[in-house]
Structure 1
Amino acid sequence: MSKLIPQTLLSDIPDLYETEGFLNPICHVKLFTPDSNWTWYIIEFSKADTNTFYGYVQGLESELGYFTLEELESVRGSLGLAIERDLSYKPISLSEIKV
């Protein structure tokens, strides 16, 4: 699948729209740019197209939204570093991240 998010992690993430209506969904994966202040928390993943994610993004603003794996793999921070997955991250609820 991807070097950024291994298949073993993707199988544990709910399908797109599966958590719709949940007030406090679980953020399963944390991605970040090591040379800037952007962070992506993955809540859902489209099992149909294997490219689309829904989650919480912290950057210039903090918001829920959609992003693609293709997009994430092309992003570079200010020093040219690629997005990385936080290997020590454990899934937690959205409300714990938004604190």
Structure 2
Amino acid sequence: MQLLTSEQESQLLTNGKKQAAVRGTADEIDFEPVVKLFNPYGPGTWLLTELDPEQPDIAFGLADLGYPELGSISMSELKEWRHPLLGQGIERDLYWSPQRTLSAYADEARKAGYIAA
């Protein structure tokens, strides 16, 4: 499965360009996530809001590999990961749509101990 549609990739890059212009200031943008990725065989959920316009392999979002945290994510690592026995990879949630901003998901995840999306 393709992790990102062309529309999602375009939106992530657009968000990354907007954020780059205000990063480190009081005007940083709290985007709604564009896409939810998950490991169907174990821990691993990612809510992505942007791609770095200078290094589009680097995404930003909320990741949960046993503990939720905000940070950078390597898209190539997500694309390359395969379950050691089943050979399946990370998938995109085809039926998910955002209900709040990334910081709201992060706050909720810190309280719950996992991403509930």
TM-score normalised by structure 2 residue count: 0.69
Structure number with the higher strand fraction is 1
Hey, what does 2:6 align to over in structure 1?
7
Q: How does 1:71-86 map to 2 (within 5 A)?
A: 71-77=77-83, 79-86=86-93
CA distance in 2, matches of 1:52, 1:66: 6
Q: Which has the higher contact order (CA 8 A, sep 6+)?
A: 1
TM-score normalised by structure 1 residue count: 0.80
Q: How many residues align?
A: 98
Q: Structure 1 regions of 5+ residues with no counterpart?
A: none
Q: Structure 2 regions of 5+ residues with no counterpart?
A: 109-117
Q: Which runs of 4+ in 1 moved over 4 A?
A: 19-24
Give the aligned CA root-mean-square deviation in angstroms. 2.5
Query: What CA deviation, in whole Å up to 9, does each residue of 1:70-97 have, x standing for no partner?
Result: 1101223464420000011112322146
- Structure of greater Rg: 2
Q: In the TM superposition, what is the alpha-carbon distance from 1:23 to its structure 2 partner? A: 7.5
Hey, what does 1:93 align to over in structure 2?
101
**Structure-2 change in CA distance of 1:34 and 1:75 (3 Å):** same
Query: What CA deviation, in whole Å up to 9, does each residue of 1:21-76 have, x standing for no partner?
Result: 54743111100000002101101112333211011001221100111111101223
Hey, what does 1:63 align to over in structure 2?
69
Structure number with the higher helix fraction is 2
